Amino acid sequence: MLQSLLFLLVAGTATWFAWKGFSRVWRNIQLGKPEKIGGQAGQRWRNVLLVALGQQKMFKNWLPAVLHLFIYVAFVITQVELIEIFVDGIFGTHRFFAPYLGGFYTFVISSIEVLSVLAFVATIIFLARRNLLRLPRFWKPEMKGFPFRDANLILLAEIVLITGIFCMNGGDKVLQTRGVEHYHLTGNFAVSTWLGPLLFGSLSDASVIAVERFGWWLHIFTVFGFLCYLPYSKHLHIILAFPNTWYARLTEKGKMENMPEIQKEVRIMMGLPPLATNGEEPAADGSASGELPEFGANDVFSLSWQNILQAYSCTECGRCTAVCPANITGKKFSPRKVMMDVRDRAEEVGAEVAKWQAASCKL
């Protein structure tokens, strides 16, 4: 009973903080101009399945792609065990699905353990690439400070999560073999069946129970912590990748849309009268009438909501900057920094808007 109440308290608190964070991101995305995007639903769903879910673009570089796949698949499959943890946490049960699924349950948990080992190896390699091998794209000026720490924090959290899984499962297997009440048999798991006795076999029943409960709570606290941290991290892309891929442009790469303002200015420079746009008639002397046109974007309000969504979906991997012709020639231009600056500016403007709205409500 106490565990259930504590679990509900932790879950409710984490959900509230996460909701506030995601609401902030949604508010900031809406700072952009309206833009209607639709059509070709079949192609859009195909892109979501291949790019967002299938990680298609990652496989242009096979080594990091395979390592990333280990972490990605482990993250997805582990959600099955997370569902059971939620059920056990709410109702005070233990491995609720095990009696109903039998051998299939053993197969699922074993798969999670194998994937967790592979994810652990990938995580160590990724940490080494960032901090020991010091890949140049991870050490660009825009990556100083929080962006660099952010990536390391998530990788370290992955190790903590894996530690929780094997403490929980390993302790569980030891208690099962000893016939301790409440720890019913679940079959032999791929890793913890031998790892559990190796690490915890010499401990007393009470100590092993403490290890198992520690692993269980460590797992759930890491998940809730990640959920609350996600709206502030570049890893928000694991959620926003899906809408971002859906709303992505489907036209050919490099194809540009006609820009009436630029067309008008070019015609004026060539001595031609500007064409009427949006019902506007050219001035009698052939010059452009009305206000001077604005080119480009001078703030987030000049961007569309999709542009801001793209900025929040950026993974900060730096592959765009690494192949950028301007950056390769030594110029300071960095596509990654542009996306990061858009997101940071959206955060800054969004915070000011929130303050103004709060002040208005008090009046």
The pLDDT tens digits for 317-328 are 888 998 899 888
Kindly report, residue by residue over 89-144, the tens digit of the pLDDT: 999 889 999 999 889 999 999 999 999 999 999 999 999 999 999 988 898 889 99
What was the pLDDT predicted at 294? 67
- Provide the pLDDT confidence category of residue 286 given band limits of 50, 70 and 90: very low
What was the pLDDT predicted at 260? 72
Kindly report, residue by residue over 150-173, the tens digit of the pLDDT: 999 999 999 999 999 999 999 999
Compare 357 and 16 and report the one with higher pLDDT: 16
What was the pLDDT predicted at 265? 75
Kindly report, residue by residue over 20-48, the tens digit of the pLDDT: 999 999 999 999 999 888 888 899 999 99
Q: Which residues pair with 280 in a beta bridge?
A: 277
> Residues 60-83: what's their mean pLDDT?
87
What was the pLDDT predicted at 62? 82
> Residues 338-359: what's their mean pLDDT?
91
What was the pLDDT predicted at 106? 94
Kindly report, residue by residue over 225-253, the tens digit of the pLDDT: 999 999 999 999 999 999 999 999 888 77
Compare 275 and 290 and report the one with higher pLDDT: 275
Question: Model pTM?
Answer: 0.84
Cα→Cα distances 85→80, 91, 92, Å:
9, 10, 10
Q: What is the mean pLDDT of the chain?
A: 88
- Provide the pLDDT confidence category of residue 274 given band limits of 50, 70 and 90: low
